[in-house]
């Protein structure tokens, strides 16, 4: 079942567009048009989705500010972008440390003068049932710190310049789980939902300055972050390159949101028949147990329980792209 993938072109669902976006649509703007001569800051750029997005933006002619904790990995990404003819700059930062975010943001603004596009991609995902979380309040604190407070701090540092120049774009990587409400993701969902609510409130305030926040409700992507849940090895997923295509679409078209069929169906079902969505989530809870990592390790033979049953495999393919 590892060969399943999702066509990102089928995932894109655009919200109503504003007058400046109408002009862009009529002109048929490409990613090259959107990033040429622009500084695009991408967090989590040392691996996975962030790295793939950085390579695409660099190849399209954008100047990429690469942000993550490990300088060596960022240097590898920078070299790869340079070898392809692009331009990138390395700005290491611990995005769970608000003081370090302030330092990095000041460094970027001092060296480059502005941030034209900010992609808040770095994040932490925790899949653990509430029964295993009673003594792990730190999971909720750490997840909120990286997934909510970090992006908000960075937005607050670059947004004034965007509004003063009357142009700018923020792309926040959210999750399909916010729309579908799967079990075992209480810490993760809460942090992503908080950033969504922040964006919903801020967007009307900055629209007149031609600054936009786009939220991508990303389906499941095959990155090291999902590896602890062994069942996901048999789930249909996006590749990091396909996920980066969605980021490229967001930068190019600047919609309010990019979603998937599953995400939209989840929101609609929750609105019209919340009991039906609850039943789907309860089924997922029964079919897919906590991972060995969530249980703090496992005894010999317990890995068998993580392999999806025939019913689990059918469920994963019926609700393609979901985090269950």
Q: Which helix (H) or strand (E) holds 118?
A: strand 117-120
Helix (H/G/I), strand (E/B), else coil: 189: helix
**What's the gap between Cα 159 and its chain centre?**
19
Task: Count CB atoms within 10 A of the CB of residue 57.
Answer: 29
For 219-224, the CB contacts below 8 A with 24+ separation are 219/6, 219/11, 219/176, 219/260, 219/262, 219/263, 219/320, 219/321, 219/322, 220/176, 220/321, 220/322, 220/323, 221/48, 221/49, 223/47, 223/48, 223/49, 224/47, 224/48
Task: Count CB atoms within 10 A of the CB of residue 159.
Answer: 20
Please identify every residue annotated as catalytic.
188
Kindly give, in sequence order, each residue whose CB lies less than 8 Å from that of residue 43, ignoring residues fewer than 6 positions away.
50, 67, 68, 93, 95, 119, 120, 121, 122, 150, 151, 154
Burial of 10 (0-12, 13-18, 19+ CB in 10 A): exposed
Phi, psi of 228 (to 5 degrees): -60, -25
Apex 49 CA angle, 315 and 140, nearest 5: 70
């Amino acid at each position: 079942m590892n060969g399943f993938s999702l066509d990102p072109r089928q995932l894109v669902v655009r919200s109503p567009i504003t007058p400046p976006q109408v002009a862009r649509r009529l002109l048929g703007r490409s990613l090259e048009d959107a990033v040429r001569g622009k500084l695009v800051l991408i967090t989590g750029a040392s691996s996975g989705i962030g790295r793939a997005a950085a390579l695409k933006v660099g190849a399209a002619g954008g100047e990429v500010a690469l942000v993550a904790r490990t300088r060596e990995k960022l240097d590898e990404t920078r070299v790869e972008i340079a070898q392809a003819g692009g331009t990138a700059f390395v700005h290491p930062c611990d995005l769970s440390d608000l003081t370090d975010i302030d330092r990095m943001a000041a460094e970027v603004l001092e060296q480059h003068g502005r941030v034209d596009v900010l992609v808040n991609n770095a994040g932490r995902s925790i899949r653990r049932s509430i029964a295993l979380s009673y003594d792990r309040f730190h999971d909720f604190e750490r997840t909120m710190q990286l997934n909510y407070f970090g992006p908000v701090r960075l937005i607050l540092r670059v947004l004034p310049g965007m509004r003063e120049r009357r142009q700018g774009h923020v792309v926040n990587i959210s999750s399909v789980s916010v729309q579908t409400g799967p079990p075992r993701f209480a810490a993760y969902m809460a942090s992503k939902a908080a950033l969504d609510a922040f964006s919903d409130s801020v967007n009307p305030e900055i629209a007149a300055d031609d600054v936009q926040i786009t939220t991508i409700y990303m389906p499941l992507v095959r990155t090291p972050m999902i590896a602890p849940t062994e069942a996901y090895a048999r789930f249909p997923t996006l590749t990091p390159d396909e996920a980066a295509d969605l980021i490229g679409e967001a930068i190019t078209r600047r919609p309010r949101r990019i979603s998937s069929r599953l995400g939209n169906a989840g929101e609609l079902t929750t609105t019209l028949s919340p009991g039906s969505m609850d039943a789907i989530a309860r089924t997922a809870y029964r079919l897919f147990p906590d991972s060995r990592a969530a249980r703090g390790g496992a005894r010999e033979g317990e890995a068998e329980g993580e392999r999806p049953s025939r019913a689990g495999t059918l469920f994963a393919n019926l609700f393609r792209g979901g985090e269950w």
